[in-house]
Structures are given as structure tokens and as C-alpha cells.
Amino acid sequence: MLYDRFPVFSEPINLYIPRLNIYQLEIKFTMSTLDPSVREKIEQWLSGSYDDDTKSSIRTMLDNEQYSELTDAFYKDLEFGTGGLRGIMGVGSNRVNKYTFGIATQGLSNFLKKTYPGEKLKVAIAHDCRNNSDTLAKVVADVFSANGIYVYFFEGLRPTPELSFAIRELGCQSGVVLTASHNPKEYNGYKAYGPDGGQYVAPYDKMVMEEVRKIETVDEVKFDGNEALIEKIGEELDNKYLDELVKLSVSKEAIKRQHDLSIVFSPIHGTGGVLVPPVLERYGFTNVTLVEEQMVVDGNFPTVVYPNPEEKEALTMAMNKAKEIDAELVMATDPDSDRIGIAVKDDKGEWVLFNGNMTGTLIINYMLTAWKEAGKLKGKEYIVKTIVTSYLIDRIAESYGVECYNTLTGFKFIGQLITKFKGEKEFIAGGEESYGYLIGEHVRDKDAIISAAIIAEMAAYYKDNGSSLFEALLEMYVEHGFFKERLVSVTKKGKTGAEEIQQMMADFRSEPPATLGGTKVAVLKDYQTSEEKNLETGEVTKIDLPKSNVLQFVTEDGSIISARPSGTEPKIKFYCSVNGTLESTDQYHSKDAEMDAKIDAILKDLGV
């Protein structure tokens, strides 16, 4: 309470009360500098059923006149989107804490009880290495169990793809993993999954969101858990999951001959350390060096700026180790092990990082090659990618007579297609440019554990054929076309940042660029309106995908530039893809520089 901050006086109570009233007036005067809606939220939290530590933190921020921080923490509710929640940890309605996660779980519990009346409800819960993930996961388990829902609770940190596997294996109706993926250490998140092991898609995603929105106060959340309904799981499920991954190996003989391929692996302090070393061992690799400093589980990620395998800095320690021991392959996974980054030696013996498109196209090309050699292509196979992922994959699939489907950004849409085609067609592999891939149908989310195994197998396969991953990349460009992509993210934090991003998209829609990189824009694809417009003829055709706030500009020479606000971070992302021909591998570096210059020109025209 507010009077807790005053000394205890010996005066009669009628003298003490005016002092309290004066203090309350001072607080109200201070609060008047904040937006009325923010003041109202703060007052609700100070007077509501929140713990004393939470209220004390809010009062300290008021005393220190941290108005900007208070505004960001309370100007809105942390939105439960189609993939769950993600945000900065702290007090407030727009922060990750036991109350925002409790409300999300109560809403999900209400949805499950309405959707599966009379059934025994079961959920699985996993978490990664982030600060507070273990305690927040227990809060989530308690709320589910307090609602009479049986909980399978991983005994320690586990990768996100294993959570997807657990839901399917244990016959759960839902599941939750606590992770903020590759975001900075201040973040945490909550991802909700359906019975197929994929993140919720329409119409269920909206139904869950609606139930969460119906929770008006924290008093509606059942926080008192029922331990009798919480079962710890761990090693037994790990082994079942790993058994499924081993079945996906295609080039077993090549691995036997190249088992001593020198590999350096880092989990960047996260969950990859639990299952990547065992899967590589089961595949038969005997020369794996771990980056021991980054095998330490730590949500502060002390050895990197960001735990993001897309960033060179995050792989620096692993590459230094690779140089020290003269390794052949570097791999690193993000904290929840759904994304993976790799580095290899180029034709000059220098270590280079592959971007997500390079690795993804190599995986698809390898899998199709290996499946063809093994006689496994029967005419019903398919692969899936997103609309912002390299269209080189489409070309490769076409050359093998395999269907390639394009989905909106978000792996849940890839998972949705796998579930849809189950029993009709066979999914080989798929992925997205943001370093997330899946091989096989054992889960419905991107999986860096199986990706690590297949990337290592791929390296062994090409080495067995007298080549390398870098040389295989160049040969692929010669055969199918040279595609180069670049992603640029523009960060806009807080309320004003969100408004700026909205305005940027509005401006692009009202006045799309006439030319990009010196080439005329021929087609505008607006996934928000589901319309594709030929800018020369004015012809409009329908885009047969769910609506999404994405714009694509297609130039006359085949360049594709996409603009998309991130759904999980305060960013707007620009995806640039250019392409051409590569006559021979020795032309690679000059052609690469040429394409870099073209992308630079495109970004300049976009003003980013």
C-alpha cells in the first residue's frame, strides 16, 4: 500500500490520515504527466490483486519519474497474437510477467474446455534457457492444472521442436513453449500450439485470441496449481524424438566413410546443447567439437551481443575454434533450437557464413538429389517455403518434378500444409529464409536439431563426392540460376515506433515506387488486400492466401522486394532478391559483387 513508504508515527489516527491524503495527492499530481489511459492502467495494477513486489516496482518507477518506461509498460496490453506472446520482461500490462502469461494461459484453458467438451484435456509445456523461463513455465503449468487440465512438464530446458513432437506423441490437445527465440536477453515469449503440433492457424488462432481478450481482470486467472495433474517428462521422450530423426538419414554410407568430418557446434547457451550432440552421435559423426563456453546454459548470453545465429558476431567464437582446429563445418543454434546458422570455408579457404536462403536452398537441393539417387521420388512428394524465401527453391523443385508450395511468412503455415496433405502426399523438406528448416513430418515447426543432422550429412555427402558445401552451392547456382538475397530490418521501438511502421506501409501502398534499382516495377502484390496488380495493364488477380500485412514489388527483370512488419519484434523488414545466370563457378565473386551493387541500389530507392 502507498502508506507503507511512510515512517510509523505515534500521533492519533486522525492526524495520520491527512498525511496519507497529501501523499496520494502528490502521486496523482505526478501521474497527471502521463497519458490518461496509462494512468488508469497503473492505478488498476496498484489497487488490484498483484503481488507486493510488482506494486513496489511500479512505485519506484513513479518516484524516479520514469515516465517513458511507464508509458511503454502500460500503454497497451501485451497482445496475444496468432503465435502467442513476446515482449520485454518486467512489470506492466505490456510486459512479460506472471500476470500476462497467466491471462494468456487462462484464455487458452477456456478455449480448450469449450473446444473439447467432455474430453480429458492434456497439454505439454517446455521452456528454453531464458531468464525466468523456468519459473514462468511453472506458472503456466499451475494455471493449466488449476483448470483441471493434465500437464506434461519437461523436467528441464528443451528445444521448441521437441515440444511440437511431444504434443503429437502424447496425444495432447495443445502445448506451450516459453521462448523469445533469438531476441535479446531482455525478452521472453509464449508460443501456443494445437493438437497437430503446429502453432494455431485460422480459425482456431482467432478463437484463442478472443478467449484471452475476454479475461478482464487478473482475478479471473486460476493461479493455484494442482500438482497431481502435473507429470514431469524428459529422457524417455528425448529418445523417441531422436529415434525419429535418425530415420530421416539418406546418405548413411557416405557418413560411414566420412564419419570423422570435423564439426564445431555451439548452442549459444541454449537448448541445442541438449540434443544436437546426441543426434550427431547417433548419425555416426565422431569428430564433433563443442564450444564449451557456450554450452553453459545462461539466459544472459554472456559471450554474445545477441543469441542470433543470423549474426556473424554470434558465431565468432565457434569460427575461431574452427580455425584453431582446422574444422570443416561450423553450426550454431538459437536459444530454443528452431533456427540454425552455419559457416564453411570458401574457395579461398576463408570462413564465410551462409545466409538463411543459401542454407535452405542447399538443403532442398541435397534432399532432392539424395532422394532421387535412392529411388524415393515417386511423384507425390512436395516441399514448402514462404513467399519471402528464395525462389531458387521453386526452380530446383521444378527441375526434379516435385511440387513447391509457397505460404505466408510464419512456419505455422508450412506446418498447416503438412497436416493437410498427411496421407496424400509426402513432405520432403521446407523452410524459410530466417534460418528455420524442417526435414520430415515428425513435427510441425522448424527444427534445428534435424537440420543440424542433415547439414552434417550433406557435408559428408559432398566430401565423399570430392566436393564441399561451398562448391556445391556454386554448382547449384550454375545449374539452376544465381539468386542473391538480403534482409534489412529497420527497428522502431515503443508506441511511436509502431506508428512509424504503420505509416511506412501506408505510404508504400498509396505511392508504390515506379522503379527499383534502375528497373521498372511491373507487379505489385498486396497480401493485405489479396490482390496482385499488373502496373502496366492495370489487371488485378486474386492472391489465394490468407490476408497479411505484406507488400511485394516485382521488377521487370525478376527482382522481388518484400516489405513486412515483424509480428514478434518492433521492426519492419525488407527482403531483397535479385537473380541472374552464372556461367561457371570461377565467375562467382564478380557476379556476387554485381548483385550486391544492385541490391544496394534497390535499398537506396526504398529509402532504407
| Catalytic site positions | 181
Q: Among 402, 408, 414, which Cα is nearest to 388's?
A: 408
Measure the CA–CA gap between 138 and 125, rounded to whole angstroms.
Answer: 9
Q: Are 159 and 271 in contact (CB under 8 A)?
A: yes
402: which residues sit within 8 A by CB, 6+ positions away? 368, 377, 381, 382, 383, 428
Alpha-carbon distance 313 to 315, whole Å?
5
Write a three-state SS string for 10-47.
CCCHHHHHHHHHHHHHHHHHHHCCCCHHHHHHHHHHHH
Cα–Cα distance for residue pair 273/129, rounded to 1 Å: 11
Cell (9 digits) for 451? 537440420
Beta strand 381-386 pairing with 426-432: parallel
- Residue 86: which of 128, 114, 56 has the closest Cα? 128
In whole angstroms, give the CA distance from residue 475 to residue 417.
31
CA–CA gap between residue 122 and residue 107 (Å, rounded): 15
Contacts for 327 with CB less than 8 Å, ≥ 6 apart: 262, 263, 264, 289, 321
According to DSSP, the residues that pair with 108 across neighbouring strands are none
Question: What does the alpha-carbon distance between residue 327 and residue 319 come to, in Å, rounded to a whole number?
Answer: 9
* Host H or E run for residue 462: helix 448-464
Selection from 120, 245, 130, 243 nearest residue 174 by Cα: 120
Half-sphere exposure of 430 (CA within 13 A, CB side): 31
Residue 37's CB is within 10 A of a number of other CB atoms, namely 12
Could you tell me the three cell numbers for 433? Answer: 529464409
Lookup: cell for 337: 533450437
Other beta carbons within 10 angstroms of residue 358's beta carbon come to: 24
Ramachandran angles phi, psi of 536, nearest 5°:
-85, -45
Write out the three cell numbers for 146.
Answer: 488449476
Distance CA 172, CA 166 (A): 8
Contact criterion met (CB below 8 Å) for 86 and 183: yes
Which residue from 594, 593, 592, 552 is spatially nearest to 576, judged by alpha carbons? 552
Instruction: Assign 3-state DSSP to the chain and report helix, strand, coil percentages, each to 5.
Output: 45, 20, 35
DSSP string, 272-313: HHHHHHHHHHHHT---EEE-HHHHS--TT-TT-SS--TTSHH
C-alpha 582/C-alpha 53 separation (Å) is 62
Cβ within 8 Å of residue 439, ≥6 positions away: 248, 363, 367, 428, 429, 447, 450, 451, 454
